[in-house]
Amino acid sequence: MTTALTDSIDPRLARRGSILGRFLRRPAGATSFAFFLLVVAIAIMAPWIAPHDPNLVDLAITKAPPSAEHLMGGDSTGRDVFSRLLWGARTTLFGALITIVTALVIGVPSGVAAGYFGGRFDRVSTWVSDALQSIPGMIILLIVAAGTRSDFVILMATVGAFMAPGYFRLARSTTIAVRSEPYIDAARVAGLGHGRIMSRHVVKVVYAPVIIQTALTAGIAMGIQAGLQFLGIGDAKTPGWGAMMNDGFRNMLTNPLLLLWPSLALGLTIAALAVMGSTLADVVSVRTPVATKRKRTASALDSAAVTVSTGVVAHASEQSAVRVENLRVQYATPDGDVEVVHGITLDVAPGEVLGIVGESGSGKSQTVFSILDLLPAGGSCSADGLWIGGRSVSALSRAERHRLLGSEIGYIPQEPMSNLDPSYTIGYQLTEPLRAVQKLSRAEAKAKAVSMLERVGISDPARVMRSYPHEISGGMAQRVLIAGAIAGKPSVLIADEPTTALDVTVQAEVLELLRELQQEYKMALVLVTHNFGVVADICDRVVVMRNGNIEEIGEVSTIFGQPTSRYTRELISASLDGAESRSELDAALAVPRKVVNA
C-alpha cells in the first residue's frame, strides 16, 4: 500500500537538532508543520473546544446554513457540522496513529533483522512481505469489518498490517546498505552483541528514512480511513471526516458546503503531511548509500595457485597467543567455491610481534578475518585447529567466539574514519563497548575512556569525547580506535594495515604507540602490512604471504639478511625503494608525540 524509500540518509546529516532547524527554516517545512500542529491541537482539544456534542441530533438545524450558533450549519440528520469537524480531526489522527504504530512495529524490526542477518530469515520474511502485498487489502478489510462489527481500532490496525511491507522493505534495504560498513564490524569487534548493534548503530541510520516514510504513510492511512467511512464501513457514531464526506456527497447539489468542509480538512491535512515528508527528505539529503566493499571481488582470484603451505610453528599450542593450523578460506562464487587461503599454519607467542606481509590480494586480511571470525558474507573458513590465548576455540559456537572480541582479542582496522559511526560521538562509541562487555557503569566507562584517550596521546580527551568522527583528524581517529581496542586488555591485538590511511608523520607516531602499548600490556601483536619498513621497525618475526600461501616465515633479521625466496627479496626492495628512510621517520618522531592536538 505504500511506496518504500529505497534510499537512505547521510548519517552525518541525521542529527536531530540540525535537521529540525533546517526543516523549519524552509517555508514549506514551517508552514506544513504549523498546520499539522494545529490539527493535532484541535484533535487533542476537541472535547473542550467543540461547541456541541458531535452526535446530538437537533432536527431544527437539519441542513441549516451557517449561523452564529452553528458556525458551519447542520448536517442532513441535524448534527452540528463544526463540532463534528473538530471531533473528526481526533478520529482521523487516532486512526492514523494506530495504523502507523502497527506498521512500524511489524515492519521496522523485521526489516532491520532481515537486512542485518540475511540468509534464511531474510528470504522467509521477504516472501511473507511480498505475499502480504499481493493480498487484496480491501477484501480483507471488508471481512475484518464484518467479523468485528466494524471495530475502529481493529480496522485501522489491519490497515497498518498491510502497510508494514513498505516499512519492511525500507528498513531492510537501508540496513543492507550499512551492514557491511566498517563501523558495524568495528562495533562487533569491540564485543557488542547483534541486538545492541542493530538497536544503536543500524537503527540510527534507518530512523530518518522511516520518519519520512511515516509522514507519507500517515497521509495514506488517513485517506484509507476516510474512504472506509465514506463507504459506510465503521461505527456510525464515530464522527469522522469520511462519514461527513459521505453525507456531503449525498447532499452535494443542495448543500455543497457539507462536502466542502470535510474535504478541505482531509485534503489539507494529507497535503501538509506530504509536504512535510518531501521537505524532510530534501533536508536530510537522501542519497543512495554505497556499501563499502571490504575487499575485492572474486575476479581477482584466478591467479591463486592452489598449494598447501605451512609456517614454522615456534610454540606449543597451549602457550600460543594465537595459533591456527591448516587454515583454508573460500568464497562462494557463481562458478563455485574458490579457495583464497590454502591451508596455512601460523603461531604467535605471547608478547610477540608478528608481521604478515605480502602484496595486495595475497590473503593477509582473509587470514586475520578468519581468526577474528569476521569473514564477509559468502566467505567461509576451515582449520584443523585454532587457539586464542592458549585456548582451543575451534569448537566454540559463534556467540562464544564473539565474546572473545573486545576482551581476548582487540582489532585495529585499516581505515579509522570508516570504522567510527558518524552518527555518534567518540565518547559514546568508546563507552558503549565498555558498558556492554566489561559491565562498567556509565561514569566508570566514561572515566576509563578518558584515561585510555590520555594513554594513547590525546591531550584534550574531554573535547574528543564530545566530538563526532568528522570533527577529528585521521590520526586521532586511529588513536581513538587503538584506545578502544586495548581498553579490554586483550592478550592479542590484531592490526590490519593500521597506518595505510595516515600520512607519514602520523604513521610513525601510530607505530611507535602500538609498540609501546604492546610492551606495556604485554600483548601479542599481529600486524598486517604491505610495508617491510614497518616490519623492520617493530616486528619480531614475519610471515611473507603470496597467493594465499606462506612463502617464507622467520625472524625479521633473518628474513632481511638472507631471504630464501626471490619473491621476498623483490618485496623487500619494492617496499624500501622510495619509502621514507628510517632517519626521516626518526626525525618525524623527534617531534614531541605523546600529546596530539589535532
Ligand X SMILES: Nc1ncnc2c1ncn2[C@@H]1O[C@H](COP(=O)(O)OP(=O)(O)OP(=O)(O)O)[C@@H](O)[C@H]1O
Binding site for ligand X (CB under 6 A): 295-298, 300-301, 331, 340, 358, 360-366, 376, 378-379, 530
Distances (CA, A) of 473 to 334, 467, 557: 41, 11, 35
Minimum CB distance to ligand X, residue 409 (Å): 18
d(CA 19, CA 24) in angstroms, rounded, equals 9
Tell me whether residue 415 or residue 512 sits nearer to ligand X (CB atom). Answer: 415
d(CA 359, CA 83) in angstroms, rounded, equals 77
**DSSP character at residue 200:** I
Tell me whether residue 472 or residue 528 sits nearer to ligand X (CB atom). Answer: 528
Q: Which one, of 37, 24, 92, lies nearest residue 262 by Cα?
A: 92
Tell me whether residue 155 or residue 340 sits nearer to ligand X (CB atom). Answer: 340
Minimum CB distance to ligand X, residue 365 (Å): 3
CB atoms near residue 71 (< 10 Å)? 14
Minimum CB distance to ligand X, residue 330 (Å): 9
Minimum CB distance to ligand X, residue 526 (Å): 13
Q: Which one, of 532, 544, 542, 541, lies nearest residue 574 by Cα?
A: 532
Tell me whether residue 114 or residue 301 sits nearer to ligand X (CB atom). Answer: 301
> What is the phi-psi region of residue 12: left when phi exceeds 0, alpha when psi lies from -120 to 50, beta otherwise?
alpha
Tell me whether residue 172 or residue 364 sits nearer to ligand X (CB atom). Answer: 364
Minimum CB distance to ligand X, residue 327 (Å): 12
Tell me whether residue 302 or residue 577 sits nearer to ligand X (CB atom). Answer: 302
d(CA 589, CA 6) in angstroms, rounded, equals 48
Tell me whether residue 79 or residue 541 sits nearer to ligand X (CB atom). Answer: 541
| Helix and strand totals (H; E) in the chain | 22, 13
- The label of the residue with cell 568522527 reads 469
The strand order across the sheet containing 549-555 reads: 409-412, 492-496, 524-529, 353-358, 541-546, 549-555
Minimum CB distance to ligand X, residue 169 (Å): 25
Q: Which one, of 481, 476, 508, 509, lies nearest residue 495 by Cα?
A: 481
Minimum CB distance to ligand X, residue 568 (Å): 15
- The label of the residue with cell 476537541 reads 46
Non-local (6+) Cβ contacts of 586 within 8 A are: none
Which residues, in sequence order, are bridge partners of residue 492? Answer: 409, 524
Minimum CB distance to ligand X, residue 227 (Å): 49
d(CA 265, CA 273) in angstroms, rounded, equals 12
Minimum CB distance to ligand X, residue 374 (Å): 12
Tell me whether residue 432 or residue 496 sits nearer to ligand X (CB atom). Answer: 496
Minimum CB distance to ligand X, residue 292 (Å): 12
Minimum CB distance to ligand X, residue 359 (Å): 7
Tell me whether residue 46 or residue 571 sits nearer to ligand X (CB atom). Answer: 571
Q: Is the dihedral of CA 548, 553, 557, 561 positive or negative?
A: negative
Tell me whether residue 432 or residue 497 sits nearer to ligand X (CB atom). Answer: 497
Backbone angles phi, psi at 134, to 5 degrees: -85, -10
What nine digits make up the cell of 199? 538497536
Tell me whether residue 365 or residue 507 sits nearer to ligand X (CB atom). Answer: 365
Minimum CB distance to ligand X, residue 107 (Å): 30
186, 419 contact by CB (below 8 A)? yes
The full DSSP string for 18-81 is HHHHHHHHSHHHHHHHHHHHHHHHHHHHHHHH-SS-TT---GGGTTPPP-SSSTT-B-TTS-BH
What nine digits make up the cell of 23? 526543516
Helix, strand or coil for residue 306? Answer: coil
Tell me whether residue 256 or residue 376 sits nearer to ligand X (CB atom). Answer: 376
